[in-house]
């Protein structure tokens, strides 16, 4: 694994519809391995490895955008009022270091804070130490500017532990990139399209448009998930780091194709790749929109377990990353016309 590539993805800033930095990292890393690179109208970027026009089309998607904030207004005291973009955890909205990205790309450090009311963060604002609104405007800060955490990516002292921001879902983008590189010299039996999608955190938008653009035959989704309680380590927690890839059997937006579930389980078993079997009681992923495009797409979602999702910091296991890269490499290497017909046959 190229951990430096993962680091650059994690430290890039990109809330919904502002993923330019992430696209740049992906393009720089993956253009040499792709037969074709296109974007949809929302900014999702798709890297393709093509066999021929008659081969089945497989799409793997993961979203580029992270949760964060946007400048909503600037008051006379020089305080910068914010609105959340995506589901930022309430506790992650208090006294955290952030950076504001101006229209010109300038990075302005700040501290965010909020008032606390019945377990909710309200009146979120960023403080750059200003006394007047002119202090703020003179730095080029304006309404609509992106605000993200300043978290630095690092390896923990404990082996195989990585910490950083935006793991949801730069992990998925990283996995797709590493799989594309693994497949670079392989003669595949399908066309494979890796879609780094826009605007998942605000309504699963880029998954719909990129799927419409590619019109694949089947769709795999890579995302992340975290347990509600890090102290629970029994069978009720199927989101534990170091315990394997999460295979999602249900979420609020998708009950996946049983044949797709079976295919993932078969490949994982043959290659000794550990799986955790989980369901989301609420929430969804790119699969929620992707599987509904055109005539409908057989779809399945896999997740990498992390700790502290939608916060300034998340923790992930190297072993889980290695396992999901192995899983997707084998899923693609073993996919052929026969498997395609089996998955798509309903009568």
Written as one string, the DSSP assignment of 86-105 is S---GGGGSSEEEEEEPTT-
Closest to 281 measured CA to CA, from 205, 225, 337, 209: 225
Active-site residue, from 19, 29, 178, 200:
200
Residues annotated within a binding site for Zn(2+): 63, 168, 201, 223, 310
| 178 is an active site residue | no
Measured CA to CA, the distance from residue 164 to residue 110 in angstroms comes to: 18
338: tokens are: 């026969």
Q: What is the pLDDT of residue 116?
A: 79
DSSP character for 31? G
Counting as low any pLDDT under 70, the low residues of the chain are none
Cβ contacts of 217 within 8 Å, gap of 6 or more: 56, 57, 58, 297, 298, 340, 344
Q: Render the burial of 2-17: b for 16+ CB within 10 Å, e for the rest.
A: eeebbbbbbbbbbbbb
Q: Does residue 81 contact residue 59 with C-beta atoms inside 8 Å?
A: no
Q: What is the pLDDT of residue 115?
A: 87
Q: Does residue 138 contact residue 108 with C-beta atoms inside 8 Å?
A: no
Q: Domains in the chain, start-ordered, CATH in brackets?
A: 3-66+165-344 (3.40.630.10), 68-149 (2.40.30.40)
Measured CA to CA, the distance from residue 158 to residue 109 in angstroms comes to: 30
Dihedral, CA of residue 303, residue 237, residue 2 and residue 273, to nearest 10: -80
Measured CA to CA, the distance from residue 255 to residue 216 in angstroms comes to: 19
pLDDT tens column, 212-265: 999 999 999 999 999 888 888 888 888 999 999 999 999 999 999 999 999 999
pLDDT tens column, 166-219: 999 999 999 999 999 999 989 999 999 999 999 999 999 999 999 999 999 999
- Note the pTM of the prediction, 2 decimals: 0.95
Three-state DSSP class for 347? coil
Cα radius of gyration rounded to whole Å, the chain: 20
Closest to 245 measured CA to CA, from 223, 228, 262, 229: 223
For the chain, the maximum distance between any two Cα atoms, rounded to a whole number of angstroms, is 70
Helix (H) or strand (E) holding 82, with range, is strand 80-85
HEC readout, 171-198: HHHHHHHHHHHHCCCCCCCCEEEEEEEC
């Amino acid at each position: 694994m190229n951990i430096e590539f993962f680091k650059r993805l994690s430290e890039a800033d990109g809330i919904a519809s502002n993923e330019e930095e992430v696209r740049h990292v992906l393009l720089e890393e993956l253009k040499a391995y792709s037969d074709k690179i296109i974007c949809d109208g929302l900014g999702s970027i798709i890297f393709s490895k093509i066999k021929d026009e008659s081969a089945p089309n497989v799409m793997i998607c993961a979203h580029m955008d992270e949760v964060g904030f946007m400048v909503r207004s600037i008051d006379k005291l020089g305080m910068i009022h914010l609105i959340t973009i995506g589901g930022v955890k309430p506790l992650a909205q208090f006294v955290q270091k952030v950076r504001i990205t101006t229209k010109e790309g300038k990075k302005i450090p700040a501290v965010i804070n909020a008032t606390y009311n019945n377990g909710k963060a309200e009146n979120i604002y960023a403080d750059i130490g200003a006394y007047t609104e002119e202090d703020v405007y003179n730095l080029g800060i304006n309404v609509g500017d992106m605000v993200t955490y300043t978290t630095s990516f690092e390896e923990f002292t404990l082996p195989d532990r990585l910490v950083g921001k935006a793991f949801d879902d730069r992990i998925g983008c990283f996995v797709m990139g590493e799989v594309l590189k693994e497949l670079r010299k392989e003669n595949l039996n399908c066309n494979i399209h890796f879609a780094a999608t826009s605007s998942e955190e605000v309504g699963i938008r880029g998954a719909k448009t990129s799927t419409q653009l590619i019109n694949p035959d089947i769709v795999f989704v890579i995302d992340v998930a975290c347990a509600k309680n890090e102290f629970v380590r029994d069978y009720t927690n199927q989101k534990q780091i170091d315990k394997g890839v999460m295979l999602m059997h249900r979420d609020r937006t998708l009950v996946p194709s049983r044949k797709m579930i079976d295919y993932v389980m078969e490949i994982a078993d043959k290659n000794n790749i550990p799986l955790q079997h989980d369901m989301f009681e609420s929430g969804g992923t790119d699969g929620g929109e992707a599987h509904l495009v055109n005539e409908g797409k057989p779809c399945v979602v896999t997740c990498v377990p992390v700790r502290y999702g939608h916060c300034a910091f998340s923790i992930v296991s190297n072993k889980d990353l290695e396992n999901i890269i192995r899983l997707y490499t084998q899923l693609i290497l073993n996919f052929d016309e026969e498997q395609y017909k089996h998955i798509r046959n309903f009568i």
